Amino acid sequence: MTTMETSTPSPAGPIAELVARARAAQRIYETWSQEQVDMAVTAAGWAIIEPTRNRELAELAVADTGVGNVEDKVAKNYRKTFGLLRDLKGARSVGVIADHPARGIIEIARPVGVVCAITPSTNPGATPANKIINALKGRNAVIVAPSPKGWSTAARLIEFIHAQFDRIGAPRDLVQLLPSPVNKQSTAELMRLCDLVVATGSQANVRAAYASGTPAFGVGAGNVAGIVDETADPALAADRIVRSKTFDNATSCSSENSLVVVDAARPALIAALEARGAVMLDGPQKAALQALMWPEGKLSPAVIGKSATQIAERAAEQDAAGREAWRAIAARKPRILMVAEDGVGHEHPYSGEKLSPVLAIYAARDFEDAASIVARIYAYEGAGHSVGLHSAKPERALTLGLTLPVSRVIVDQAHCIATGGSFDNGLPFSLSMGCGTWGKNNFSDNMNYRHYLNITRVSRPIPEQMPGEEEIFGAFFAQHGAA
């Protein structure tokens, strides 16, 4: 019996037909050797990394979604895909992948079947590519369900992948796309018919994936905070923060939304940020920007993925009283707009995720106070994701890891570059970061190819290893007796 025959639906409509074709292709693909699978993985990677195709996808993504900027999307498409290919090179995903003689256990990799990959408009090229490659590594078929705005980019990406598949003799139906127009009904049906759902994007999409009745991996909400303490080098910290916060116009869930700065570090850090193009807004400007960003209590598409300069220009159009000041700010071509904040919660929207180069600055008395402020922010939004730390005291990273509700502590790095894996850290390359139970997720890893595998374990008998009661209960009995 092949992998998913028992749950194969009878074609009864366009979505079911899509899944049926994927199952047929996957049954062929699951017979491929590790070498053949790795060739398919490499082909899919080359489909997006090749410079001309990469740029076309980046330009199409910005043109269709209005989010981010082309050069950063080119860099993201390349780095995230190339890094993933590095991670997968030599990794076993076919047949026996591990043997533990002392435990009598052999591990065998098996496909999960047909994967439904839900992807966001913020990364309409890089995220589908990442999920497709990981799914292929596990000998799965994959059907991409993109956001409506990202559909044409995903469609073009899959055209490129199919062309590479033709070169190596891989079935095109291993990688397919949910037909346009994408809507909640078609996505829900696809989730129901597939064998695994991997959802990246809005929390509404993640909740729908969890409620689909199909096993699902989803990611938590972003809203990263970074701490800068009194021991940090202000110039280096500012370099990293600006690089992270401006990359692709802060569309990443890993971009800092708040900086919590210890009082002793604040003057030098703010000066360093301003020297690198950040602008601190005054009280009236902060209020005017809030009205632009959250006109009805919900973050406006008018600012999502736009540059700080574009946001300042739009604020000038809307804020009649402050128009000249906004025009002066826009003329400086700011890279980041900063606002001083001290509150957290719905009444303080700057404490939440902004998906734009707007940064809330919190003041903290000391490191302990800074950690407490971050905990308050995450109690409102962003629990489980990650926290940044700029400090010369390595023990403080361990303190954050032991006490804050985060799956990652990113130390002295450009946060949005580092969190999803980088060539100078040990995290797996990924565009889907699990946030653990803090973020209402069932995993806390950077999502990787092992999440796209079933693993069968063969257990053989080994010499008995049963301990005595004294070994188990001795310390307990010594302290509390054997009653």
> Tens digit of pLDDT for each residue in 451-480?
999 999 999 999 999 999 999 999 999 999
Q: Supply the pLDDT for residue 163.
A: 98
Residue 68 near residue 248, CB atoms below 8 Å? yes
Residue 189 near residue 208, CB atoms below 8 Å? no
**Residue pLDDT, tens place only, 18-52:** 999 999 999 999 999 999 999 999 999 999 999 99
Q: Supply the pLDDT for residue 182.
A: 92
Tokens of 189: 């049906």
Strand 95-100: give its sheet, edge to edge.
95-100, 105-111, 453-459
Q: What are phi and psi of 392, to 5 degrees?
A: -95, 5
pTM for the full model? 0.93
Q: Supply the pLDDT for residue 12.
A: 67
User: 411 vs 21, 42, 166, 299, 391, CA distance in Å?
Assistant: 46, 32, 44, 29, 8
Domains parsed from the chain with CATH numbers = 5-219+447-458 (3.40.605.10), 224-422 (3.40.309.10)
Residue 253 among the catalytic residues: yes
Residue 35, burial from CB neighbour count under 10 angstroms (0-12, 13-18, 19+) = exposed
Measure the CA–CA gap between 312 and 327, rounded to whole angstroms. 7
SS3 211: coil
Measure the CA–CA gap between 312 and 328, rounded to whole angstroms. 9
Q: Supply the pLDDT for residue 465.
A: 92
Catalytic residue among 116, 194, 253, 416: 253
Cα atoms in the Cβ-side hemisphere of radius 13 Å centred on 333: 1
Token look-up 């700057």 returns 350
Residue 129 near residue 45, CB atoms below 8 Å? yes
Nearest Cα to Cα of residue 255 among 101, 372, 417, 367: 417
Q: What is the DSSP letter of 347?
A: T
Q: Supply the pLDDT for residue 194.
A: 98
Q: From first to last of its 483 residues, what are the pLDDT tens digits of the chain?
A: 334 344 444 456 999 999 999 999 999 999 999 999 999 999 999 999 999 999 999 999 999 999 999 999 999 999 999 999 999 999 999 999 999 999 999 999 999 999 999 999 999 999 999 999 999 999 999 999 999 999 999 999 999 999 999 999 999 999 999 999 999 999 999 999 999 999 998 888 899 999 999 999 999 889 999 999 999 999 999 999 999 999 999 999 999 999 999 999 999 999 999 999 999 999 999 999 999 999 988 999 999 999 999 999 999 999 999 999 999 999 999 999 999 999 999 999 999 999 999 999 999 999 999 999 999 999 999 999 999 999 999 999 999 999 999 999 999 999 999 999 999 999 999 999 999 999 999 999 999 999 999 999 999 999 999 999 999 999 999 999 988
Measure the CA–CA gap between 144 and 126, rounded to whole angstroms. 12
Measure the CA–CA gap between 63 and 47, rounded to whole angstroms. 20
